[in-house]
């Protein structure tokens, strides 16, 4: 919709105005009201689920506080964050996502491959550390870009090293090859350790 509506509505930074413009264009005021109801119901169910899940989890971690207190806390916190505006939320969440998504992908990959290396801690720890070393710099680099500031001086040689050594680093995938190599090496080591243990 965003790609095909530029000639009619112009270019928007986020998808929200595209949806509202399309609903208004095709269905008039009724479309705008209908879209508002749909988005409200969709977001309401998601926010209720996330709030209750977070409250239950943190209540188990910190039993000194009640479930109700955590619900109120998360409701007030997210209400405040929601009023920053969609563009600001997206801009300031990108550095966090650049840091977290490689770690999440590697952990999911390890979960699928765990039967091969028999859930050995060595594989999990080494792959996570290698991925963290790259994704942490990616997150900081993106944060500097978002804030419009120069890289910290200690980051410059690390970024230069990554750009020269890691394939796909410019595409945000510099963590991929090191993670795969470490998983393969530590997976083989883990298998040999298991064989040696069985033979002994």
Burial class (CB in 10 A: 0-12, 13-18, 19+), 9: middle
Question: What six digits make up the tokens of 105?
Answer: 């992908």
Q: Which domain holds residue 54?
A: 6-82
Same domain flag for 129 and 188: yes
Which of 12-21, 22-31, 71-80, 111-120 comes out lowest in average pLDDT? 12-21
Same domain flag for 102 and 189: yes
The CA-based angle 157-159-163, given to 5 degrees, is 115
Final residue of a structural domain among 25, 53, 82: 82
Residue 19 lies in a domain: yes
Same domain flag for 98 and 188: yes
Residue 1 lies in a domain: no
Q: Of 21, 19, 20, give the one whose Cα is nearest residue 9.
A: 21
Greater confidence (165 vs 87) lies with: 165
Same domain flag for 146 and 169: yes
The CA-based angle 97-101-105, given to 5 degrees, is 170
Distance between alpha carbon 118 and the CA centroid of its chain, in Å?
A: 27
Residue 21 lies in a domain: yes
The yes-or-no verdict on residue 192 having pLDDT over 80 is: no
Q: What is the mean pLDDT of residues 87-115?
A: 89
153 DSSP assignment = T
Same domain flag for 114 and 158: yes
Same domain flag for 78 and 95: no
Name the pTM for this structure: 0.69
Same domain flag for 53 and 143: no
Task: pLDDT band for 17, please (50, 70, 90 cuts).
Answer: confident
The CA-based angle 196-198-199, given to 5 degrees, is 65
Same domain flag for 74 and 114: no
Residues in the chain, total: 200
Residue-wise burial string across 111-127, b where 16 or more C-beta atoms lie within 10 A, e elsewhere = eeeeeebeebeebbebb
Q: Of 46, 60, 43, 135, give the one whose Cα is nearest residue 98.
A: 135
Task: pLDDT band for 18, please (50, 70, 90 cuts).
Answer: confident
Final residue of a structural domain among 36, 54, 82: 82
Question: What six digits make up the tokens of 34?
Answer: 């209908």
Q: Specify the number of domains making up the chain.
A: 2
Same domain flag for 46 and 120: no
Rg for the chain, CA atoms, rounded: 23
Same domain flag for 102 and 38: no
Instruction: Report the pLDDT value the prediction gives residue 177, as an integer from 0 to 100.
Output: 93
Same domain flag for 164 and 67: no
Residue 120 lies in a domain: yes
Final residue of a structural domain among 82, 115, 144: 82
Same domain flag for 95 and 146: yes
Residue 38 lies in a domain: yes
């Amino acid at each position: 919709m965003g790609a095909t509506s530029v000639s009619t509505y112009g270019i928007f930074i986020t998808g929200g105005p595209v949806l509202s413009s399309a609903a208004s264009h095709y269905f008039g005021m009724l479309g705008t009201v209908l879209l508002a109801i749909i988005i409200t119901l969709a977001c309401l169910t998601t926010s209720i689920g996330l709030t209750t899940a977070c409250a239950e989890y943190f209540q188990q971690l910190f039993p000194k506080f009640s479930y109700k207190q955590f619900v109120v806390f998360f409701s007030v916190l997210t209400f405040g964050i929601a009023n920053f505006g969609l563009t600001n939320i997206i801009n300031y969440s990108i550095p966090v996502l650049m840091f977290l998504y490689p770690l999440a992908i590697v952990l999911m990959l390890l979960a699928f491959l765990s039967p091969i290396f028999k859930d050995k801690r060595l594989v999990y720890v080494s792959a996570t550390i290698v991925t963290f070393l790259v994704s942490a710099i990616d997150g900081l680099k993106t944060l500097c870009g978002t804030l419009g500031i120069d890289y910290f001086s200690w980051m410059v040689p690390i970024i230069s090293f990554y750009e020269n050594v890691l394939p796909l680093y410019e595409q945000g995938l510099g963590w991929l090859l090191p993670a795969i190599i470490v998983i393969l090496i530590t997976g083989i080591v883990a298998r040999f350790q298991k064989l040696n243990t069985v033979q002994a």
